[in-house]
Amino acid sequence: MHAQLDHLVIAAASLAEGVAWCEATLGVTPAPGGSHPLMGTHNRLLNVSGDAFPAAYAEIIAIEPGKHPSRPRTRRWFDMDDATLQASIARHGPRLIHFVARVPDAHAATRALAREEHAHIDRGQLLEASRDTPAGRLEWQITVRDDGQRLFYGALPTLIQWGAVHPTDAMPASGLVLRSLRAKHPRAPALAAALAAIGMTGIDIDAGAPNLVAVLDTPRGSVTLESQGL
Protein backbone atom coordinates (compact mmCIF):
# COMPACT_ATOMS: atom_id res chain seq x y z
CA MET A 1 0.00 0.00 0.00
CA HIS A 2 1.36 3.41 -0.95
CA ALA A 3 -0.65 6.62 -0.60
CA GLN A 4 0.45 10.01 -1.91
CA LEU A 5 -0.93 13.46 -1.32
CA ASP A 6 -3.28 14.20 -4.20
CA HIS A 7 -4.77 17.55 -3.37
CA LEU A 8 -5.44 20.13 -0.67
CA VAL A 9 -9.05 21.11 0.01
CA ILE A 10 -9.72 24.81 0.61
CA ALA A 11 -13.36 25.59 1.41
CA ALA A 12 -15.00 28.91 0.56
CA ALA A 13 -18.47 30.33 1.10
CA SER A 14 -18.64 30.92 -2.67
CA LEU A 15 -16.27 30.40 -5.58
CA ALA A 16 -16.12 34.16 -6.13
CA GLU A 17 -14.87 34.60 -2.55
CA GLY A 18 -12.43 31.73 -3.06
CA VAL A 19 -10.97 33.31 -6.18
CA ALA A 20 -10.61 36.71 -4.51
CA TRP A 21 -8.94 35.08 -1.48
CA CYS A 22 -6.55 33.16 -3.71
CA GLU A 23 -5.50 36.26 -5.61
CA ALA A 24 -4.99 38.26 -2.42
CA THR A 25 -3.29 35.49 -0.39
CA LEU A 26 -1.35 33.45 -2.93
CA GLY A 27 -0.91 36.03 -5.69
CA VAL A 28 -2.39 33.90 -8.48
CA THR A 29 -5.76 33.31 -10.13
CA PRO A 30 -6.98 29.71 -9.92
CA ALA A 31 -7.64 27.80 -13.12
CA PRO A 32 -11.15 26.65 -14.07
CA GLY A 33 -12.45 23.52 -12.41
CA GLY A 34 -15.91 22.05 -12.73
CA SER A 35 -19.13 20.96 -11.06
CA HIS A 36 -19.73 17.87 -8.93
CA PRO A 37 -23.39 16.84 -9.44
CA LEU A 38 -22.83 13.97 -7.01
CA MET A 39 -22.27 16.43 -4.15
CA GLY A 40 -23.72 19.76 -5.28
CA THR A 41 -20.34 21.51 -5.20
CA HIS A 42 -18.01 23.15 -7.70
CA ASN A 43 -14.35 24.15 -7.66
CA ARG A 44 -11.38 26.02 -9.08
CA LEU A 45 -7.93 24.40 -9.28
CA LEU A 46 -4.24 25.24 -8.73
CA ASN A 47 -1.25 23.09 -9.62
CA VAL A 48 1.05 22.88 -6.58
CA SER A 49 3.26 20.03 -7.80
CA GLY A 50 6.91 19.89 -6.77
CA ASP A 51 9.66 17.50 -5.81
CA ALA A 52 8.12 16.80 -2.40
CA PHE A 53 4.58 16.31 -3.73
CA PRO A 54 4.49 15.38 -7.42
CA ALA A 55 1.19 15.53 -9.32
CA ALA A 56 -0.43 17.57 -6.54
CA TYR A 57 -2.95 20.35 -6.73
CA ALA A 58 -5.17 22.51 -4.54
CA GLU A 59 -8.89 22.86 -5.03
CA ILE A 60 -10.94 25.80 -3.89
CA ILE A 61 -14.37 24.31 -3.36
CA ALA A 62 -17.78 25.76 -2.53
CA ILE A 63 -21.40 24.70 -2.50
CA GLU A 64 -22.88 25.35 -5.94
CA PRO A 65 -25.91 27.63 -5.56
CA GLY A 66 -29.19 25.79 -6.01
CA LYS A 67 -27.53 22.37 -6.19
CA HIS A 68 -27.90 19.43 -3.82
CA PRO A 69 -26.23 16.02 -3.57
CA SER A 70 -27.72 13.66 -6.14
CA ARG A 71 -27.69 10.75 -3.68
CA PRO A 72 -30.59 10.80 -1.18
CA ARG A 73 -29.86 11.14 2.54
CA THR A 74 -26.22 12.02 1.85
CA ARG A 75 -24.45 15.05 3.24
CA ARG A 76 -21.80 16.82 1.17
CA TRP A 77 -18.23 15.65 1.39
CA PHE A 78 -15.57 17.37 3.53
CA ASP A 79 -18.13 18.42 6.21
CA MET A 80 -19.36 21.15 3.88
CA ASP A 81 -22.90 20.86 5.29
CA ASP A 82 -21.63 21.28 8.86
CA ALA A 83 -23.13 24.47 10.30
CA THR A 84 -20.10 25.21 12.51
CA LEU A 85 -17.68 24.95 9.62
CA GLN A 86 -19.93 27.05 7.39
CA ALA A 87 -20.18 29.76 10.04
CA SER A 88 -16.41 29.83 10.55
CA ILE A 89 -15.71 30.17 6.84
CA ALA A 90 -18.38 32.84 6.49
CA ARG A 91 -16.78 34.75 9.37
CA HIS A 92 -13.09 34.26 8.63
CA GLY A 93 -12.97 33.56 4.89
CA PRO A 94 -11.71 30.58 2.87
CA ARG A 95 -9.68 28.06 4.82
CA LEU A 96 -7.66 24.89 4.32
CA ILE A 97 -9.88 22.16 5.77
CA HIS A 98 -8.67 18.79 4.50
CA PHE A 99 -6.54 16.86 2.05
CA VAL A 100 -7.10 13.93 -0.28
CA ALA A 101 -4.66 11.05 -0.80
CA ARG A 102 -4.50 8.99 -3.97
CA VAL A 103 -4.02 5.26 -3.70
CA PRO A 104 -3.54 2.54 -6.33
CA ASP A 105 -6.30 0.39 -4.81
CA ALA A 106 -8.98 2.29 -2.91
CA HIS A 107 -10.80 -0.90 -1.87
CA ALA A 108 -7.64 -2.26 -0.23
CA ALA A 109 -6.94 1.08 1.46
CA THR A 110 -10.40 1.30 2.99
CA ARG A 111 -10.09 -2.28 4.23
CA ALA A 112 -6.71 -1.45 5.80
CA LEU A 113 -8.28 1.40 7.78
CA ALA A 114 -11.22 -0.76 8.86
CA ARG A 115 -9.10 -3.45 10.50
CA GLU A 116 -9.34 -3.76 14.27
CA GLU A 117 -5.80 -2.55 14.98
CA HIS A 118 -6.75 0.76 13.37
CA ALA A 119 -9.87 1.27 15.52
CA HIS A 120 -12.32 0.20 12.81
CA ILE A 121 -12.02 3.49 10.93
CA ASP A 122 -14.91 3.85 8.50
CA ARG A 123 -13.57 6.02 5.71
CA GLY A 124 -16.88 5.66 3.85
CA GLN A 125 -18.26 4.17 0.69
CA LEU A 126 -16.37 4.19 -2.57
CA LEU A 127 -18.32 6.28 -5.05
CA GLU A 128 -17.60 6.49 -8.76
CA ALA A 129 -17.56 9.89 -10.41
CA SER A 130 -16.47 11.41 -13.70
CA ARG A 131 -16.20 14.72 -15.50
CA ASP A 132 -15.39 15.63 -19.10
CA THR A 133 -12.55 18.11 -19.59
CA PRO A 134 -10.80 19.51 -22.67
CA ALA A 135 -7.88 17.15 -21.90
CA GLY A 136 -10.06 14.06 -21.63
CA ARG A 137 -12.53 12.39 -19.34
CA LEU A 138 -11.63 12.36 -15.67
CA GLU A 139 -12.80 9.23 -13.87
CA TRP A 140 -12.25 8.46 -10.22
CA GLN A 141 -13.38 6.52 -7.18
CA ILE A 142 -13.53 8.41 -3.91
CA THR A 143 -14.43 7.58 -0.32
CA VAL A 144 -17.43 9.48 0.99
CA ARG A 145 -19.22 8.88 4.27
CA ASP A 146 -22.99 9.37 4.29
CA ASP A 147 -22.52 11.90 7.10
CA GLY A 148 -19.84 13.75 5.11
CA GLN A 149 -17.32 13.72 7.97
CA ARG A 150 -13.64 14.34 7.25
CA LEU A 151 -12.45 12.42 10.36
CA PHE A 152 -9.61 13.48 12.71
CA TYR A 153 -10.67 17.12 12.09
CA GLY A 154 -9.59 16.78 8.47
CA ALA A 155 -6.19 15.23 9.17
CA LEU A 156 -7.15 11.75 7.97
CA PRO A 157 -7.34 12.05 4.18
CA THR A 158 -10.21 11.15 1.96
CA LEU A 159 -9.02 8.42 -0.42
CA ILE A 160 -9.15 8.68 -4.19
CA GLN A 161 -8.24 6.32 -7.02
CA TRP A 162 -7.93 7.94 -10.44
CA GLY A 163 -8.51 6.39 -13.83
CA ALA A 164 -6.14 6.86 -16.75
CA VAL A 165 -6.19 10.68 -16.61
CA HIS A 166 -5.12 12.80 -13.63
CA PRO A 167 -6.13 16.47 -13.32
CA THR A 168 -2.51 17.68 -13.25
CA ASP A 169 -1.82 16.02 -16.62
CA ALA A 170 -3.24 19.09 -18.34
CA MET A 171 -3.14 21.61 -15.50
CA PRO A 172 -0.95 24.65 -16.20
CA ALA A 173 1.81 25.66 -13.83
CA SER A 174 0.44 28.12 -11.28
CA GLY A 175 3.61 29.53 -9.76
CA LEU A 176 2.83 27.64 -6.55
CA VAL A 177 4.76 24.73 -5.02
CA LEU A 178 3.65 22.79 -1.94
CA ARG A 179 6.70 22.43 0.30
CA SER A 180 5.30 20.68 3.37
CA LEU A 181 2.17 19.48 5.09
CA ARG A 182 2.00 18.95 8.85
CA ALA A 183 -0.89 17.60 10.92
CA LYS A 184 -1.56 18.17 14.60
CA HIS A 185 -4.08 16.16 16.60
CA PRO A 186 -4.59 15.26 20.26
CA ARG A 187 -4.59 11.56 19.27
CA ALA A 188 -1.40 11.79 17.22
CA PRO A 189 -0.42 8.09 17.65
CA ALA A 190 -3.81 6.94 16.35
CA LEU A 191 -3.55 9.29 13.39
CA ALA A 192 -0.01 8.12 12.66
CA ALA A 193 -1.15 4.48 12.74
CA ALA A 194 -3.99 5.19 10.33
CA LEU A 195 -1.69 6.98 7.89
CA ALA A 196 0.82 4.13 8.15
CA ALA A 197 -1.95 1.65 7.34
CA ILE A 198 -2.41 3.25 3.91
CA GLY A 199 1.31 3.76 3.36
CA MET A 200 1.14 7.55 3.65
CA THR A 201 4.51 9.23 4.06
CA GLY A 202 5.76 12.80 3.87
CA ILE A 203 3.21 14.17 6.35
CA ASP A 204 4.66 15.22 9.72
CA ILE A 205 2.40 14.51 12.71
CA ASP A 206 2.52 16.23 16.09
CA ALA A 207 0.38 16.08 19.21
CA GLY A 208 -1.68 19.17 19.86
CA ALA A 209 -4.88 20.99 19.02
CA PRO A 210 -6.29 19.85 15.64
CA ASN A 211 -4.60 21.66 12.78
CA LEU A 212 -3.38 21.16 9.24
CA VAL A 213 -0.45 23.35 8.22
CA ALA A 214 0.55 23.62 4.56
CA VAL A 215 3.53 25.71 3.46
CA LEU A 216 3.66 26.86 -0.15
CA ASP A 217 6.09 28.82 -2.26
CA THR A 218 4.12 31.54 -4.04
CA PRO A 219 4.77 34.74 -6.03
CA ARG A 220 4.27 36.50 -2.69
CA GLY A 221 6.92 34.37 -0.98
CA SER A 222 6.35 31.57 1.50
CA VAL A 223 2.70 31.35 2.59
CA THR A 224 1.37 29.15 5.39
CA LEU A 225 -2.21 27.93 5.33
CA GLU A 226 -3.79 26.50 8.49
CA SER A 227 -7.07 24.82 9.39
CA GLN A 228 -6.94 25.61 13.11
CA GLY A 229 -10.29 26.63 14.53
CA LEU A 230 -12.39 24.56 12.15
pLDDT at 132: 80
Helices (H), the chain: 15-25, 83-92, 106-114, 188-197
CA distance 222 to 19: 19
Phi, psi of 195 (to 5 degrees): -65, -40
Other Cβ atoms within 10 Å of 76 Cβ, number = 20
Q: What confidence tens digit (pLDDT) does each residue in 102-118 have?
A: 999 999 999 999 985 65
pLDDT at 30: 97
pLDDT at 229: 64
Average pLDDT of span 42-46: 96
Of the chain, the percentage scoring pLDDT greater than 70 comes to 97
Strands 203-207 and 177-185, how do they pair? parallel
Q: What confidence tens digit (pLDDT) does each residue in 163-177 have?
A: 999 999 989 999 999
pLDDT at 135: 74
Residue 19 has pLDDT above 80, yes or no: yes
CA distance 167 to 102: 12
Average pLDDT of span 179-202: 95
Q: What confidence tens digit (pLDDT) does each residue in 126-173 have?
A: 999 887 877 778 899 999 999 999 999 999 999 999 999 999 998 999
Residue 122 has pLDDT above 80, yes or no: yes
Residue 119 has pLDDT above 70, yes or no: no
pLDDT at 176: 98
pLDDT at 130: 84
pLDDT at 183: 97
